[in-house]
Amino acid sequence: MLRLEIAEEYHGKRVDVALASLAGESRACIQRLIGQGCVYLENVATKIKPRDTAKAGEIYLIDIPKPMPSTLVPEDIPLEILYQDKNIAIINKPAGLVVHPAAGNYTGTLVQGLLYHIKDLSGIGGELRPGIVHRLDKMTSGLMVVAKNDEAHRSLSAQLTDRTCTREYMALARGAMGKNEGRIDAPIGRHHIYRQKMAVTDLGRPAVTDFIILQRMQNACLLHCKLQTGRTHQIRVHLAHIGHPVLDDPVYGGAVEGARQMLHAWRLIFKHPNGGKTMAFEAQPPEDFLRRLRGLGGCDIIQ
């Protein structure tokens, strides 16, 4: 049984939104638990609905079902596991590997590889599964942290929510940028016409990306980008918004045949869920990224 008190910052928000943030889970998971009758307002018999309004000070109880075996089939997919203990694992994901099964990618995903390589996984939400705390696009390479139990999952999700988890990227951007560093503060939401795309829109959620230029080449820059928020396609959308899209981005910047978007999750810093020790990991860009950088006249020694 999970006991959660609605904090002042969630007063007036939907119950599913508030509980998802407090529990470190997705809204879909909380909505599913509400639908299963596993969420209660303490000392109140009224049935909970996802759209109910949360009030500061209310206490909600979530009866976590006993995890059932995953319906996904583990697959022996090669994975670069940089670190692992009983709580977390750090993965260096290659470009081209999808994180979750979805339409067109039901097999051969990171999730199925994790089910093969890691046996003690998070079970919150009713199904034993890898604790995917954050995601990377299929064609983005780099670091991901995986939670191996529910407590670690909640801790890491909370750090992402309160922005104490640091995620830094390397990106090759098109064009000669003016300032050597800057901040892009522009809300991101679904494109009003092309729903598979994201866009800067007044109706979007707040999104902030900081960047520093590490190298300048002819008509391109190597950027160090730091996420202050975690919206879908955030760096890709923000750089395209200011006129310097990620090189070879097929959605936001114009694809190059046989290439992939030049974006790499380079550094990850967070507090360990058990004990709070600061953990920092780095993964240098893979060879395809460095080859593209060299081809532009850049130096592949990246500090």
Q: Hey, which residues are catalytic here?
A: 137
Contacts of 221 (CB under 8 A, 6+ apart): 172, 173, 175, 176, 177, 213, 214, 215, 244
Give the whole-angstrom CA distance, residue 88 versus residue 39.
27
Q: How far is residue 133's CA from residue 223's CA, in Å, rounded to a whole number?
A: 25
For tokens 């022996």, name the residue: 76
| Distance between CA atoms of residues 265 and 285, nearest Å | 8
Coil, strand or helix at 28: helix
* DSSP classification of residue 66: P
Q: Report which of 250, 142, 141, 254 is spatially closest to residue 196, judged by C-alpha positions.
A: 250
Reference 148, options 180, 117, 169, 105; nearest CA is 117
**Alpha carbon 268 to chain centroid, angstroms:** 12
Q: Are the CB atoms for 60 and 19 separated by under 8 Å?
A: yes
Rounded to an integer, what distance in angstroms lies between the CA atom of residue 282 and that of residue 266?
6
User: Collapsing DSSP states into helix, strand and coil, what is residue 173?
Assistant: strand
